[in-house]
A and B are shown apart, each in its own frame.
Chain A
Amino acid sequence: MTDSAIPGWGTTGAGPARPARPLDPTAAVELQDVSRWYGNVVAVNDISFVLTPGITGLLGPNGAGKSTLLHMIAGLLRPSAGQVVIRGAPAWRDPAIYRRIGLVPEREAVYPFLTGRQFALLNARLQALPEPEIAADRAIARVELTDAADRPIGTYSKGMRQRAKIAGALVHDPPILLLDEPFNGMDPRQRLQMMEMLREMAAAGRTILFSSHILEEVERLAQNVLVIVAGRLAASGDFRAIRKLMTDRPHTFTIRSSDDRRLAAGLVGTAAVYGVELTDGRLSVRTSDFGAFTRALAGVARDARLTLFEVRPTDEDLESVFGYLVQR
């Protein structure tokens, strides 16, 4: 817990003085030069962006600062510097923003003694909605939880609990929806359902921000993406452009085939390949163009009448992808 005696939010006394850019009062969510540190540890480092209607994915490895960022947007954490603004009003210490925001936290705990319907109803009452029962039932139906709505949440599976949390966040039909790792613990079918639901809500003009450490989830759902690595915004914008940045970086593949030596010889002459190495009976190939290489590899193998047993990217883990983006 930090000292609450430090008044409010703001840029005063933190970081180098910068001319404040005018904020966009119509932006659903705007972050300007936002940083957050805990003691000497910087969790979020000087991030600025504007969220627009549609789905935005907040992508980054675990511990990159995604949750810290989401909590600052949700007004639950004070920015150490910079400002987070919801429709022109600062998010920190203003409970009124929660009329516009629906928040689905990552932590799993939900009052276990309440049923799904009671939980949605609690949220509706806390939102002071005029007809809380109707709003609760509508939200329960929206997340397809009607069948289990009268069972205590304590008996729910992870996926059902997640849907109950989302029902609670949707009950007041908020224009802004923030979800922290919403697909954690869901099976593939539930994941698809949820993605479909978020797409529909985005199509209805909502601003949706969800965090994930899984590239594939973000790829399938988000038009826009914010990549955050070690507290910094490593890339932002259209997902396809970023995906291209990611795929066009140098790759190394380990290949096993019926005759590695002949395959190596065939690959050396290929344009997409700029390094071939055969050590300890393992063939590793370096390439700068993912697409061209995979096509060329198939051709070389066919022409030389070789069988490919295994083609494995050696550095395809997310950390290295992110590491590459940060270096750029």
Chain B
Amino acid sequence: MIRAIAGVTFRALAGRRRTLLVTLLCSLPVLVALLVRASGRATDLDTVTATVVDRLVISTLVPLVALVFGTSALGSELDDGTAVYLLAKPIARWRIVVAKVVVAAGLAVIVTVPAAFASAALLGSGSTWLPHALGYAAGTAIAASLYVMVFLALSLVTSRALAIGLVYVLVWEGILAGLFAGTRTFSIRQYALGVAQAIGGPATTNGPERLEGMTAIALAVAVFAIALVIAIRRLQSFEVGEAD
């Protein structure tokens, strides 16, 4: 049953145009990394790595990709009415949510993690390239799954999930989290960077001090669980057919 839902979700999400767009987006940081290496002018590679992977991958690419997959996995079906074919079935609603999250988060991880790993590996040097790349890959995987979960829950709470998600990413994480250290406790991006650094990412920081690895993971797990519960509860009492 979950497999059937996952299958149709995968086909809906991995449409030709969306896949092409996301793939192009994800190749961008890799291209930038290649250009930096080719130019040979970068002296402080750790700072460059931090800039490309932090800014481009974890802070921009991952939330955008997750926003696309997270808000459309269930949200667009609820909007166009096809969700009825899943809802009007003898299936516990939590199974529908789980199937949707697994597919959407899986897709987001599959497209973003290689981009993070590849660009970090290209920019790395000597013995540090592998731990850097692994750290960023892990941070990216956590960020992608968590963003997808939060945006999917958001799409069940409001029909303007895309706009609100964008504001969260740009305003809260982009501006406020850089100014006030306190906001990092409520920033998916900061969890990801905390994990990345704990595993082996470069210690260079831009913005507030990194969260400690275990704290970051604990916070990420807690936020994921809360978003999951909210999503399931919303879907259990979701009402269809209000517009008569």
Task: Given A113-B15, A122-B4, A126-B1, decide whether A103 and B244 contact each other with a Cβ distance below 8 A.
Answer: no
Task: Given A113-B11, A128-B1, decide whether A71 and B89 contact each other with a Cβ distance below 8 A.
Answer: no
Residues in chain B near residue A107, CB distance under 8 A:
80-81, 84
- The count of residues in chain A whose C-beta lies closer than 8 Å to any C-beta of chain B is 40
Inter-chain residue pair count (beta carbon < 8 A): 98
Choose one: B1, B82, B88, B240; the contact of A110 (CB below 8 Å): B82
CA distance A324 to B93 in the complex (A): 44
Residues in chain B near residue A65, CB distance under 8 A:
244
Residues in chain B near residue A38, CB distance under 8 A:
242
CA distance A123 to B4 in the complex (A): 9
A63 near B244 with CB under 8 A, answer yes
Question: Which residue on chain A has the smallest CB distance to residue B240?
Answer: A76
Choose one: B5, B88, B93; the contact of A74 (CB below 8 Å): B88
Smallest CB separation, B3 vs chain A (Å)? 8
Q: Which residues of A contact B (CB under 8 A)?
A: 1-2, 4, 38, 43, 63, 65-68, 70-71, 74-78, 93, 95-99, 101, 103, 105, 107-111, 113-114, 122-123, 125-128, 168
- CB proximity to A under 8 Å, residues B1-33: 1, 3-5, 7-8, 11-12, 15
Residues in chain A near residue B8, CB distance under 8 A:
111, 114, 122
Interface status of B87 (Cβ within 8 A of chain A): yes
A68 near B241 with CB under 8 A, answer yes
A126 near B240 with CB under 8 A, answer no
Interface status of B222 (Cβ within 8 A of chain A): no
Question: Which residue on chain A has the smallest CB distance to residue B95?
Answer: A95
B90 near A127 with CB under 8 A, answer yes
Residues in chain B near residue A113, CB distance under 8 A:
11-12, 15
Choose one: B11, B84, B159; the contact of A103 (CB below 8 Å): B84
Task: Given A76-B87, A126-B91, A128-B90, decide whether A109 and B80 contact each other with a Cβ distance below 8 A.
Answer: yes
A4 near B81 with CB under 8 A, answer no
Residues in chain A near residue B93, CB distance under 8 A:
95
